[in-house]
Structure 1
Amino acid sequence: MMRILLFLATNLAVLIIASITLKLLGVDRFTGQNYNSLLIFCAVFGFAGSLVSLFISKWMAKMSTGTEIISQPRTRHEQWLLQTVEELSREAGIRMPEVGIFPAYEANAFATGWNRNDALVAVSQGLLERFSPDEVRAVLAHEIGHVANGDMVTLALIQGVVNTFVMFFARIFGNFIDKAILKNEEGQGIGYFVATLFAELVLGILASIIVMWFSRQREFRADAAGAQLAGQGAMIGALQRLQAEQEVPVHMPDSLTAFGINAAKKASFAGLFMSHPPLEVRIEALRQLR
């Protein structure tokens, strides 16, 4: 898993760094037992990580994958790629995104960007070399579906919400440990600090399950959008081709897996932390479309 894991890690790092910084600056103490103020306080810092990740997503994607943007097509394949993305974007009602190719043997693709009219769609070199034009078009349609559905923004907002409540409940827990258990009546002590950080780590992991569940639902919607744009048969064929190549390890950076089309298989328990449903489940869902 790629984009989602780095996305979550970035947010968790922001929460921890914010907690340490705010504690050292003495800002935390002003939230006290005023839960309305505490909630607002947590929302400001809770949304910071997700929004930062959203606004730098294109830059992060280009840097982490080595994606080369096609500004002037140099080959017939690049020309076809630009024309196909332009056609699909027009049909989906969005502005033409940037189009790029990243050097990877495995078949994969991703879409990212801070809004549906300022996005990036990229495909791997391996996908272009081994997939048929209809299969590549279906993969591109899936990624355009992500963009048209506003998945990047929605994911950032959901992450911001869970960040907020992770910080909120972690501080309530820290205050409880400090006051009720350690009997510290002189203000927020080391017990509050340690308990809050511990609670943020635990709650952050649990909150990621919620984000991953939403990510899996997005894949079904993007598959449906891809079927509408490229044809149900073509979309099923592309997923079946990905399924045939499932044994090829996926090495795209963690920051991009959530918006990629392919993800590695995981064990059953780890399925709670998967950004993508199993390919066979996605294929069956497409067959049920009417």
Structure 2
Amino acid sequence: MNYMRTAVLLAGLTALFMVVGFAIGGKGGMMVALLVAAGMNLFSYWYADKMVLGMYGAREVDMRTAPEFVSMVAELARRAELPMPKVYIIDNPQPNAFATGRNPQNAAVAATTGLLQTLNPDEVAGVMAHELAHVKHHDTLTMTITASIAGAISMLANFGLFFGGGNRESNNPFGGISAILMAILAPIAAMVVQMAISRSREYEADRGGAEICGQPLALASALAKIAGGAHAVPNYAAEANPATAHMFIINPLSGARMDNLFSTHPNTENRIAALEDLARQMGGYRPAPATAAPARGPWGGNTGGTRRGPWG
């Protein structure tokens, strides 16, 4: 997806926020929504990364606390010609990862303990390379702003439903029924825009990550394992904050709620097929490996394989 299309979609998300404001408070509500959206974008630029990391209880690690993992990220960042990002681990059994930050100079990558325990080192390298590709493509700012606005749309729509939006004094020509419609339709529309922004970016990050780590099939294998784990292991923090789901490499939501009606991620099988095609182009193609017997990884715990990655 090119940057112009992303900008248009972000503008559409902001416009949707204003429509919800209009449905609740008429022209005055629309202007307030515009000001709030501008303020949220400014806040997201500076602080959304810290907010998202805080939502998931991420703890920063360094060469003293997680030397092998941090060394691996450092090597991948060097290959990608990126500044060294901050590195976080999330104590969560679901295998998953995401990147955040307003620019490559202020980026952070985070992996769950479930990911580090489930994947082998080559697969972990593929996942973190994918996240660094998001950083290199400047996707992280777009994703955090999208998460902030989409979450606010849902909250604002619910506020209008429960606190009597669309009254006669608001100059809203649609009446009180508009608040009910907005409460139903606005979150769905926000999810559709999130989906449109996220899906093509995931394909680009898959390709960029495969080029950074040099092993498309390791990333393909990682995606298969993460998808299986994400369906089997609930991520309660993500369920509580569904507007952040598009930030993860694989959708962390269980699908038990309406929040997962429109997936923000491409089909995993299609992503794996694209990586296998890339492996053929790069040479040395072989089918993506099945899950291997667990083994001790360089950061401790079961990693699901026996091979050490290029960092050790």
**TM-score, normalised relative to structure 2:** 0.64
Task: Name the residue aligned to 2:76.
Answer: 88
| Equivalent position SS for 1:288 | helix
Distance 1:70 1:193 in 2: 53
Higher relative contact order (Cα pairs below 8 Å, separated by 6+ residues): 1
Q: Is the 2:255–2:261 contact (alpha carbons within 8 Å) kept by the matching residues of 1?
A: no
Deviations 1:222-268 (CA, angstroms, capped at 9, x unpaired): 1111111112121112112224434422404235422212224649x
CA distance in 1, matches of 2:182, 2:125: 42
Q: 1:189 aligns with which of 159, 166, 171?
A: 171
Aligned mate of 2:216, from 232, 254, 263: 232
Structure 1 or 2, whichever has the larger Rg, is 1
Q: For residues 278 and 97 of structure 1, do their structure 2 counterparts lie closer, same or farther at Cα, with a shift above 3 Å needed?
A: same
Deviation (angstroms), 1:129: 1.9
- Residue 122 in structure 1 maps to residue 110 in structure 2: yes
Partner of 1:5 in structure 2? none
Q: 1:117 to 1:195 in 2, by over 3 A?
A: farther
Query: Could you tell me whether the CA contact under 8 Å between 1:265 and 1:278 is conserved in 2?
Result: no
Provide structure 1 residue ranges, at least 5 long, that are not aligned to the other structure: 1-7, 32-37, 164-177
Alignment of 1:11-160 (within 5 A): 15=17, 19=21, 23=25, 28=28, 44-74=35-65, 78-155=66-143
Q: Taking structure 1 as the reference length, what is the TM-score of the superposition?
A: 0.68
Compute the displacement of 1:196 (Å): 6.1
Give aligned pairs, total.
244
Unaligned runs of 5+ in 2: 1-9, 152-165, 282-312
**In proportion to residue count, which structure has more helix?**
1
2:274 aligned partner: 285
Contact 1:54 1:153 in 2 (8 A): yes
The Cα RMSD (Å) is: 3.9
CA separation in 2, counterparts of 1:70 and 1:102? Answer: 10
The aligned counterpart of 1:249 is 233
Does structure 2 retain, via aligned residues, the 8 Å contact 1:105–1:125? Answer: yes
Q: CA deviation at 1:216?
A: 1.4
1:121-157 alpha-carbon deviations (Å, 9 max, x no partner): 1111121122111111111111111111111223467
